[in-house]
Amino acid sequence: MAQGAAKKVLILGGDGYLGWPTAMHLAKLGYKVAAVDNYFRRWACHQLNVEPLVDVPNMQIRAELYESITDQTIHIAVGDITNYEFLRKVFEGRIFGEQWGEGPPDAVVHYAEQPSAPYSMIDQEKAAFTLTNNLVGTANLVHAVKEYEPACHIVKLGTMGVYGTPNIDIEEGYLDVEHKGRKHTFLFPKCPGSLYHLTKAQDADLLYFYVRIWDIRVTDLNQGPVYGIETEEALHEERLLTIFNYDDVFGTVFNRFLAQAAAGFPLTVYGKGEQIRGYINIKDTLACVELSVRNPADRGQYRVFNQFVETFTVNELAEKVVQAGKNLDIDVEIKSIPNPRREAEEHYYNPTHTGLLELGLEPHYLTEEVATGMLSFVMNYKGKIQQGCILPKISWT
């Protein structure tokens, strides 16, 4: 941990796909870590009958197990940050006990948002929940920072999806514009493709507003789709693995393809399969978050990093899984299906992503060996894969 780095880190959404591995990762590096979650993702998986691939215990049990193995403590609280009185207790520190100590954190990693584009498009109820959860939760966080520690660094998980697919290069957060002989720097224009992505654009504008008004410090990590499940901190202990979804609601595309291949189901390529996105290994997500925490934004700075490592088309990802299958003597087929989403299927895509590399990110690439290893891991659980979770059931239109 670098000199001057945050010592107390609060993780909101600490039970999630990224939140739990981040908690273990930062604890291992010597940070004092607390994790908060309202268990929305678990509840939604039950409600929609899209259970994760691996059964993992709740946060409290995992934290106790992790401490028994490593002697590293992860402080746990269950609650909803859209309830400001609960969040105040979290920032006061009294909810975690004496070992955490009173007082606010030095940094907050904000994962506590409804994370699924398809979920946000199911119906009015899910849309309203997404808006309320994502925007009220973020607004409450800003007010808690102002009330308890204005120097606290907010590291918020954004998404590359806020940019859409413009026919120009995507810069890292900002765009210099010259118009009628005058120049100005704006946040890069946003064109989100789902209500979820719209809330991520809105929370970015909200944070940028409060940075300018209250001089708080924010790093917004516009992340591409994540793949992977195993991290070093899981210590070969299944119960410490993260939540791995392979369904059409919460599963990211490469994770879905791996489960489909393991189950002997054709890979579901949406439409033409030429949609291009920037992808990142879950191990690099953890590294990017720690780099951001260790190198905080300045007071009054809204800093944006485009957080991905490589770009692929959906077809290229499918071919990687086909090759991984060959390496394991598994016959994997690809099947194009009607696209349930409203999106450009052929487009220009060239986003900048230099900021995190300059801070020291050492990327993990999606090599044939990596893809084969991931498919081999998922094969261990192929008997648990529910084929009824594979085909998409949610349409944008």
170-226: per-residue pLDDT in tens? 999 999 999 999 999 999 999 999 999 999 999 999 999 999 999 999 999 999 999
User: Which structural domain, as residue segments, surrounds residue 288?
Assistant: 8-238+279-309+348-363
Contact 265, 390 (CB under 8 A): yes
Q: What's the pTM value of the predicted model, to 2 decimals?
A: 0.97
CA distance linking residue 125 with residue 316, whole number of Å: 35
pLDDT at 242: 96
Instruction: Provide the pLDDT confidence category of residue 5 given band limits of 50, 70 and 90.
Output: low
127-162: per-residue pLDDT in tens? 999 999 999 999 999 999 999 999 999 999 999 999
Largest CA distance in the chain: 65
Looking at the domain assignment, is residue 343 inside a domain?
Answer: no
Residue 378's contacts (CB-CB under 8 Å, 6 or more residues apart) are: 53, 246, 258, 259, 261, 262
Told to judge if 159 belongs to the known catalytic residues of this protein, a careful annotator would answer yes
pLDDT at 98: 86
How many domains is the chain built from? 1
228-262: per-residue pLDDT in tens? 999 999 878 999 999 999 999 999 999 999 999 99
Query: Which residue of the set 17, 111, 196, 279 is catalytic?
Result: 196
Query: Which residue of the set 126, 156, 200, 283 is catalytic?
Result: 200
Contact 178, 213 (CB under 8 A): no
Looking at the domain assignment, is residue 374 inside a domain?
Answer: no
Query: Which residue of the set 82, 159, 199, 268 is catalytic?
Result: 159
* CATH, residue 295: 3.40.50.720
Looking at the domain assignment, is residue 41 inside a domain?
Answer: yes
| Strand extents, DSSP E, the chain | 8-12, 32-37, 74-78, 107-110, 153-159, 174-179, 182-187, 217-223, 226-227, 267-270, 276-281, 302-307, 310-313, 334-337
Mean pLDDT of 91-100: 91
Mean residue pLDDT across the chain: 96
Looking at the domain assignment, is residue 109 inside a domain?
Answer: yes
Residue 185's contacts (CB-CB under 8 Å, 6 or more residues apart) are: 174, 175, 176, 177
HSE-CB for 383 with a 13 A CA cutoff: 1
pLDDT at 236: 82
pLDDT at 2: 52
